[in-house]
Amino acid sequence: MNSVLKNKNIVVGITGSIAAYKAVEIIRLLRKKEAIIYPVMTRAATYFVHPLTFQTLSSQRVTRKMFKEEKKEIPHLSLAKLADLLLIAPATANIIGKIANGIADDILTTTVLATRAPVVIAPAMNYRMFRNPIFQTNMNKLKTFGFKFIGPEKGVLASGEAEIGRMVDPPRIVKYLEKVMNSLNDFQGKSFLITAGPTREPLDEVRFFSNYSSGKMGYALAEEGISRGAKIILISGPTFLTPPAKAEFYLVESAKDMEKKVMDNFSKVDGVFMVAAVADYRPEKRREGKIKKDSQKELTIKLVQNPDILKELGERKKDKILIGFCAEVENIEEEAKKKLKEKNLDLIVANDITLEGAGFEEETNIVTLIDKNGKIEYLAKRSKREIAVKIWDKVKNLLEKDIS
């Protein structure tokens, strides 16, 4: 059986770590899968393994410099364009820090910044460096942008200590690359609608009712869906986020605006992720002009209920996949299961917004996934992009079960 890596162009970046010798085995295994390998070495990497080793194994010249006079095309741009996948193994704290902060001062970092291919990073370093909060911030920042990490793991390090920081073994890395390559076509030909962010319910010309939603979870789901081959319609309330370039994007303001745009597009999609924090209530009347505080000592505002968009979708879903989200402060599972049933959902994503690192405006989240079959999965704190990966995995499983 042919590997999904067959005839794929894989750029393998090797950096200055003692684990560089493991890259030799990675390239050997990738060649066995009939992948086409383009080795890129940093200057520090050449102190650990001679470039000739990688050139012999890959049958490709090792790229080490940014510019070569005899080349008509700039190396980092040509590598970035041809890559189907880019792997950095081993990846030092230094290279991860550079990429996370947009520094492109060598052939590898410029290639990473120029490519649109998935980037997989296999860290290798001393455990003290790995646990340093600066490194953790850099790593989490890249995860948020969709960079994929495998490892590190616990094991005996170069220092002789048995701790975390050891690069994952080559067979596992190659298997992970196959998984990443497979995922690129997970939702090819499928369309999904994603709502994100808050809604604003106007009181007068200058004031409105809203909530703390940043839109980060919905936008992360949109990015991940696009990376896996799905066509995405993103309907967002006001946020400070940049919508994914490949998404069909609509900006809305109020719950009524969002309802209309969702219903206009519902027939076009295979499923809906209702991530937006839609206001439950709105002022009965929008006041003209601006309410003056000196005009009255007390202000009574009558609120009326907004439409329940998710419930409306559940009533007309037919064979579409419907995913709901709920933010709670108590009885998380109980409330989630209730909404799952009442709104005819296939999957609900619940989070306790009282937990540190979860909820609105955070870069991370802590969620519980409950599907229509009653299966529960708890996801510990991780970046919202990593949460998005898990949710899309769950949707893939639900689609496959429906087909079978």
Domain map (residue ranges) of the chain: 9-183, 191-403
Q: What is the pLDDT of residue 403?
A: 56
Question: Mind listing the pLDDT tens digit for each residue in 170-207?
Answer: 999 999 999 999 888 899 999 999 999 999 999 988 89
Distant-in-sequence contacts of 76-81, Cβ < 8 A, 24+ apart: 76/107, 76/110, 76/111, 76/114, 77/114, 79/11, 79/38, 79/40, 79/111, 79/115, 80/111, 80/114, 80/115, 80/116, 80/117, 81/114, 81/115
Question: Mind listing the pLDDT tens digit for each residue in 87-112?
Answer: 999 999 999 999 999 999 999 999 99
- For residue 67, pLDDT over 70 is answered with no
Residue bearing tokens 């007309």: 316
Question: Mind listing the pLDDT tens digit for each residue in 21-34?
Answer: 999 999 999 999 99
The CATH superfamily of 9-183 is Flavin prenyltransferase-like (3.40.50.1950)
Q: Are 363 and 216 in contact (CB under 8 A)?
A: yes
The amino acid at 229: G
Prediction pTM value: 0.86
Catalytic residues: 211
Q: Please, what sign has the CA dihedral across residues 280, 283, 288, 292?
A: negative
CB-based contacts of 402, cutoff 8 Å, min separation 6:
319
The whole-number average pLDDT for the span 109-121 is 95
The whole-number average pLDDT for the span 277-295 is 86
CA separation, residue 353 to residues 144, 216, 350, 362, 392 (Å) = 20, 15, 9, 10, 22
Least confident of 23-27, 39-43, 241-245, 331-335: 331-335
Q: Please, what sign has the CA dihedral across residues 103, 105, 109, 113?
A: positive
Q: Are 211 and 293 in contact (CB under 8 A)?
A: no
> Can you tell me whether residue 398 is helix, strand or coil?
helix
Judge if 9-183 and 191-403 fold alike in CATH terms.
Answer: yes
Question: Mind listing the pLDDT tens digit for each residue in 37-56?
Answer: 999 999 999 999 999 999 99
DSSP 11: E
Question: Mind listing the pLDDT tens digit for each residue in 120-130?
Answer: 999 999 999 99
Q: Are 68 and 41 in contact (CB under 8 A)?
A: no
Cα(87)–Cα(237) distance, integer angstroms: 36
| Mean of per-residue pLDDT scores for the chain | 91
DSSP string, 116-175: -S-EEEEE---HHHHH-HHHHHHHHHHHHTT-EE---EEEE-TTS-EEEEEPPPHHHHHH
Q: What is the pLDDT of residue 328?
A: 83
Residues in the chain: 404
Residue bearing tokens 């989070």: 351
CB-based contacts of 126, cutoff 8 Å, min separation 6:
157, 158, 159, 163, 165
Q: Are 241 and 214 in contact (CB under 8 A)?
A: yes
Question: Mind listing the pLDDT tens digit for each residue in 144-160?
Answer: 898 999 999 998 888 88
Both tokens assigned to 308: 């329940």
pLDDT-based confidence at 298, cuts 50/70/90? confident
Q: What is the pLDDT of residue 284?
A: 86
* Secondary-structure class of domain 191-403 per CATH: alpha beta
Task: Please give the sequence-ordered ranges of beta strands (E in DSSP) within 197-341, or none if there are none.
Answer: 201-202, 208-209, 231-236, 248-251, 271-274, 281-283, 303-305, 321-328
Cα(143)–Cα(194) distance, integer angstroms: 21
The whole-number average pLDDT for the span 72-86 is 81
Percent of the chain with pLDDT over 70: 96
Question: Mind listing the pLDDT tens digit for each residue in 356-396?
Answer: 877 777 888 899 999 998 899 999 998 999 999 999 999 99
Return the biggest CA–CA distance within the chain.
83
